[in-house]
Amino acid sequence: MLVPYLTAGFPTIADSRAALRVADEYADILEVGVPFSDPLADGPTIQASSFRALTNGMTLAGTLALIADSQLRAPVVLFTYFNPVLRYGVDRLLRDAASAGVAGLLLTDLPSGADPAVEAAVQASALDLIRLVAPTTRRDRMQRAVAGAEGFLYLIARLGVTGASATVATELAASIARVRDVSPLPIAVGFGVSTPAQARTVADLADGVVIGSALVDVLGREGVPAAGRFLARIRAALDER
């Protein structure tokens, strides 16, 4: 399962739409990031893309319009911090996102149990509640960390913020095993996967691979066609397994 991540509105709104359509050719699931002014979980590459997208005028409403206009084949997961959702309105967001074709919602800074009312609202909606699982989660807390999750689980491959990495964390297999012990949902691994070889290694352990910072970096430096070629190489590495 290949899960490309793109920041809505980066590097321009027109190029963002084109990049989504190109990524859709290779993706099993698409993650679309909502630009936010204080993206604490993100590393320099995605932070820079978020700030540039905000400068371009991209908003949460604009992100939904971009998704709807792109007419994507793959299911879309909206990747966002909680503050933009609160400002937009939780019920309004769930309604408008479903209308735009969004299939899932990942709230990066809302751990399980932090706001039961919001979690229940997402679970009662047409959107899947995607849980983010940290590699430091203890076995005795893992059950609570994935409680109420839908669709798939997003497992962070390593400590720290998002960003391309030269290696895949050696403890990844143990982290995946802990998650599998408590949930039957597919596991997608992200944070640091940046090459076809790494993607193949991760795919041998997990059910899905998230490609974020490396893709955003190629898109920003070399443009949409290069981003498509990069994803084609990742897709080929996964399909050759």
In CATH, what number is assigned to the domain containing residue 91? 3.20.20.70
> Which pLDDT tens digit goes with each residue over 34-91?
999 876 666 788 889 999 999 999 999 999 999 999 999 999 999 999 999 999 999 9
Domain span including residue 165: 2-239
Mean pLDDT computed over every residue of the chain: 91
In three-state form (DSSP H/G/I as H, E/B as E, the rest C), the secondary structure along the chain is CEEEEEECCCCCHHHHHHHHHHHHCCCCCEEEECCCCCCCCCCHHHHHHHHHHHHCCCCHHHHHHHHHHHCCCCCEEEEECHHHHHHHCHHHHHHHHHHHCEEEEEECCCCCCCCHHHHHHHHHCCCEECEEECCCCCHHHHHHHCCCCCCCEEEECCCCCCCCCCCCCCCHHHHHHHHHHHCCCCEEEECCCCCHHHHHHHHHHCCEEEECHHHHHHHHHHCHHHHHHHHHHHHHHHHCC
The residues assigned a catalytic role are 31, 42
> Which pLDDT tens digit goes with each residue over 172-224?
888 898 899 999 999 999 887 889 999 999 999 999 999 999 999 999 999 99
Q: How many domains does the chain have?
A: 1
> Which pLDDT tens digit goes with each residue over 134-175?
888 877 788 888 889 999 999 987 543 344 444 455 678 888
